[in-house]
Amino acid sequence: MRKEESTNAQNEAALIRNCGMAYALSVIGGRWKPNILYCLLKGKMRYNELRKAIDGVSERMLVAQLRELEEFGLVKRIIYPEVPPKVEYELTELGYSTEPMLNMMSDWGNKNREVSLL
Amino acid sequence: MRKEESTNAQNEAALIRNCGMAYALSVIGGRWKPNILYCLLKGKMRYNELRKAIDGVSERMLVAQLRELEEFGLVKRIIYPEVPPKVEYELTELGYSTEPMLNMMSDWGNKNREVSLL
DNA sequence: CAGTATCCGACATGATACTG
DNA sequence: CAGTATCATGTCGGATACTG
């Protein structure tokens, strides 16, 4: 257990640090991240608004992916110290900078997905 | 068993058919696909050349992801009926059309990955 | 309202041995 | 050379119940 066995998770982390593509995929990969990003591109939203806007997402995954986006610095979490609680999520500048990339991917997909379905 | 229970896999498949972003991610997602695509953008390669070029990939995963890329119509598999066997992989036009998207993602990643590591 | 905690199954990936 | 077959493992994500 003490040995220098580099785990897969560690290798992945190293990859993400060193490779732009891996980093980009870690940011927009994951089942719900693109969807979250798209929602927030339209403006800040509350937790429950996101839940309703994103069809099928569970609380667990929504929180998890929001936290990851926060760690990566794409999303700001704004907590209003009230009762009942109110939390808003908003894109940072870095978050907004993903828009052209997201659009390009989406456009490429929409243009070409019919091709392989003929 | 006959019931209309839609599995996760089925839902995913439906998503991929209907959403450009999901389709794009299904094409370039996966641990090795971007790497494979980058290799093949430089020109056609044999199976073993790919193995050597892509550090750390197992035979199992290389074959699996090549097959997926083939299904999506991004990669052509060229079999030479010789002994010993010779197989080359080459991008289709659709495969080459991913280049701008891949570059954009890679560039975005390289530009921004330092940001979140400060 | 905005989350946590817990459990669980499905799937992606890895390691290794074998084959036409 | 270019794969298959088999087994093992860990992570992702879903369902559900609970909480400050």
Q: Read off the CATH number of the domain in which B68 is found.
A: 1.10.10.10
Pick from A75, A81, A93, A85: which is nearest to A32 by CA?
A75
Structure confidence by residue, pLDDT tens digits, B62-118: 999 999 999 999 999 999 999 999 999 999 999 999 999 999 999 999 999 877 655
**Contact call for residues B97 and B23 (beta carbons, < 8 A):** no
Q: Determine whether the distance from the CB of B44 to the nearest atom of strand D is below 7 Å.
A: no
Statement to judge: residues B67 and B109 lie in one domain = yes
**Contact call for residues B97 and B68 (beta carbons, < 8 A):** no
What is the model's pLDDT at position B84? 94
Q: Do B94 and A107 touch (CB under 8 A)?
A: no
Statement to judge: residues A17 and A44 lie in one domain = no
Cα–Cα distance, A53 to A57 (Å, whole number): 9
Q: What is the DSSP track for chain A? A: --S----HHHHHHHHHHH-HHHHHHHHH-SSSHHHHHHHHHT--EEHHHHHHHSTT--HHHHHHHHHHHHHTTSEEEEEE--SS-EEEEEE-HHHHTTHHHHHHHHHHHHHHTTGGG-
Statement to judge: residues B19 and B58 lie in one domain = no
Two tokens at A111? 């243009």
Pairing of strands A86-91, A75-80: antiparallel
Q: What is the DSSP track for B83-110? A: SS-EEEEEE-HHHHTTHHHHHHHHHHHH
> Could you tell me the distance in Å between the CA of residue B5 and the C1' of nucleotide C8?
19
Q: Determine whether the distance from the CB of A12 to the nearest atom of strand D is below 7 Å.
A: no
What is the model's pLDDT at position B54? 96
Q: What is the mean pLDDT of chain A?
A: 90
Cα–Cα distance, A49 to B105 (Å, whole number): 29
Angle between helices A33-41 and B20-28 (to 10 degrees): 140
Statement to judge: residues A19 and A36 lie in one domain = no
Structure confidence by residue, pLDDT tens digits, A71-97: 999 999 999 999 999 999 999 999 999
Cβ-nearest to A20 among B27, B101, B113:
B113
Cα–Cα distance, B48 to B64 (Å, whole number): 14
Statement to judge: residues A88 and A105 lie in one domain = yes
Structure confidence by residue, pLDDT tens digits, A22-49: 999 999 999 999 999 999 999 999 999 9
Statement to judge: residues B12 and B68 lie in one domain = no
Distance, in angstroms, between B46 CA and closest chain A CA?
A: 24
Q: Determine whether the distance from the CB of B86 to the nearest atom of strand D is below 7 Å.
A: yes
> Could you tell me the distance in Å between the CA of residue A58 and the C1' of nucleotide D12?
13
Cα–Cα distance, A114 to B16 (Å, whole number): 11
Nucleotides in chain D with any atom closer than 7 Å to protein CB: 1-6, 10-17, 20
Two tokens at A73? 């610095």
Statement to judge: residues A48 and A101 lie in one domain = yes
Residue A4 reports pLDDT greater than 70: no
Number of domains into which chain A is organized: 2
> Could you tell me the distance in Å between the CA of residue A85 and the C1' of nucleotide D20?
10
Statement to judge: residues A96 and A60 lie in one domain = yes
**Contact call for residues B22 and B14 (beta carbons, < 8 A):** no
Statement to judge: residues A43 and A68 lie in one domain = yes
Statement to judge: residues B35 and B81 lie in one domain = yes
Q: How confident is the model at residue B1 (pLDDT cuts 50, 70, 90)?
A: very low
Q: Determine whether the distance from the CB of B63 to the nearest atom of strand C is below 7 Å.
A: no
Distance, in angstroms, between B13 CA and closest chain A CA?
A: 12
Residue A3 reports pLDDT greater than 60: no
Q: Do B113 and A29 touch (CB under 8 A)?
A: no
Query: Domain residues for B105?
Result: 31-116
Tell me which of A113, A114, A115, A118 to substitute to probe the interface with B (most B C-beta atoms closer than 10 Å): A113
Statement to judge: residues A12 and A38 lie in one domain = no
Statement to judge: residues A25 and A46 lie in one domain = no
Q: How confident is the model at residue B3 (pLDDT cuts 50, 70, 90)?
A: very low
